[in-house]
Amino acid sequence: MNIKTCVLGLICCLSIIFSSCKKEDQIIGIDVLEPSDLLTTYVDSVSTTISFSTLKDDSIRSEYITYMVGENYDELFGKSRAGYASRMYLQGMMGDLTGFKLDSVCLRLSKSAKYAYGDTTVAQTFSVYELLQDITVDDCAKYNQKAEMPSFVANKKKVFDVDFPAYCDTTSSYVFKFDAEYANDLYSRFLQHYDTDTTLKYFDSLFIKQFKGLYITTKDDQFNQVQAVITHCVPEINFYISGNDTTQKLVLAPSPQAYTSPVSNDPSQIYLQAINIFEHEYPSEIASAIGTNATQSYVQGMVGLKTKLTLDGLETWRDSLVAINIAKLSIPLKSRDSWSEYLPLNLRIYDAKRNMVFSTMSTVADSSKFEFNVHPFLVQLFNNSSKAETYEYEVVVPENNTYNNAFVLDGTQTDKLKLVITYTK
């Protein structure tokens, strides 16, 4: 018997053994269970009814500084504009300035390619102001939490207007020269507290008493009839000085951190002073919808509008015999031609004390609907004693709320506006 014949024989024997060991799968005990005790999977999309209303969004989504400036117009949402205020910090000492003289002082505006909303081919004019009042933590907090306009926005002195080119220009930054009178005045204030201590231990805390910062906004701090763009644009003040056959540059740059950084007794160490100010002028259709229930609702970025959801019937799901497997909230959109990119929206849920207990981004973002996975929240809800109606449900624009995208939520599409729950019982 050769080797090939032996191998074939062995394979046949193993096949017979394995086949004799295999049995059909059986569910043990299923024949003794009552039909009512069997677990069955169900899908429900009608027990919870959903309605919504439009609210003004009175809180900025993040502590990150964005330096948004400009204006834009939407055919439905009307006018939006942005400006920002910022402290300016000395970036580094250059030693003894004896014998140096001032050549010029310039404002540099560096733009970012990441953020631009509106018509990028249209130029516009920005107004540059010097702040005459400190930017305080309290002012920033009141604006972010209650939409109270900071008092320092009104307490300012106009320096000049700058013509900002169309945003589609490939130049990354633009330089604008201050007039000689203002430049000399600012430099003299700068010199009052300049110190050769390269650690900058004292300069910033002293200079803030002389120069509170800049406020850059739309022309004359108002809406202008220009179909323009809102841009991300970072300021910098450059002092050009010369002496001993050399030319040097001293740089004042904006606050590097957010207003909620740890508080210190030294004002120069409270890197809080930078804040965006967003304003909107809504047409009558949207203005009348704010605060009222309607078949459609509005969501807009840049501290604009948000939607408050009401979920009736959600409490009926508090049933110990029910296990929720999947829960998806679907919200349809009204079709619009003015937005080509549909960014995801953010669902935020707050408890009775206004603490955010749940947040999730939409898992589907297209031109027809948004969809949110709310299963984790329902598990959390039914494992504690708080009633479903004590929570507040809101839909907002994400990403620090600096995206100016705007959406119309369409409650007339009842076949798409629903909470779909898959469960076993």
pLDDT tens digits along 186-214: 999 999 888 777 777 778 878 888 999 99
Residues 52 and 129 in one domain: no
Give percent above pLDDT 70 in the chain: 83
83 vs 142, higher pLDDT: 83
Contact by Cβ (8 Å): 219, 228? no
- Summarised one tens digit per residue, pLDDT across range 264-302 is 555 444 445 678 889 999 999 999 999 999 999 999 988
Residues 113 and 238 in one domain: yes
200 vs 216, higher pLDDT: 216
| Domain residue limits at 348 | 43-56+304-424
368 vs 327, higher pLDDT: 327
DSSP state of 12: H
Q: DSSP states of 271-313 as a string?
A: TT-EEEEEEEE--HHHHHHBTSEESEEEEETTTTEEEEEEEET
**Domain at 403, CATH number:** 2.60.120
1 vs 202, higher pLDDT: 202
Residues 26-31: what's their mean pLDDT? 44
Is 366 within a domain? yes
Residues 257 and 308 in one domain: no
Please give the helix or strand (H or E) that residue 101 lies within, else none: strand 101-118
Residues 224 and 340 in one domain: no
Range with the lowest mean pLDDT among 66-70, 255-259, 346-350?
255-259
Predicted TM-score of the model (pTM): 0.80
Would the pLDDT of 14 be above 50? no
- Summarised one tens digit per residue, pLDDT across range 107-160 is 999 987 667 788 888 899 999 999 999 887 777 777 877 778 888 889 999 999
- Which of helix, strand or coil describes residue 84? strand
Residues 116 and 152 in one domain: yes
Q: Measured between alpha carbons, how far is 307 from 284 in angstroms, rounded to an integer? A: 18
Residues 76 and 182 in one domain: yes
Domain count of the chain? 2
Residues 247 and 201 in one domain: yes
Q: Count CA within 13 A, CB hemisphere, residue 18.
A: 6
Is 274 within a domain? yes
Is 23 within a domain? no
Is 125 within a domain? yes
Q: Which residues pair with 163 in a beta bridge?
A: 125
* Per-state percent for the chain, helix, strand, coil, to nearest 5: 20, 40, 40
Q: How confident is the model at residue 18 (pLDDT cuts 50, 70, 90)?
A: very low
Strand 88-90 relative to strand 214-218, pairing? unpaired
Residues 182 and 51 in one domain: no
- Which residue, 281, 312, 334, sits at the end of a domain? 281
Would the pLDDT of 17 be above 80? no
Residues 183 and 261 in one domain: yes
Would the pLDDT of 368 be above 70? yes
Contact by Cβ (8 Å): 255, 87? yes
Mean pLDDT across the chain, nearest whole number?
83
Residues 25-33: what's their mean pLDDT? 44
Q: Measured between alpha carbons, how far is 319 from 324 in angstroms, rounded to an integer? A: 10
Is 61 within a domain? no
Is 4 within a domain? no
Residues 43-68: what's their mean pLDDT? 83
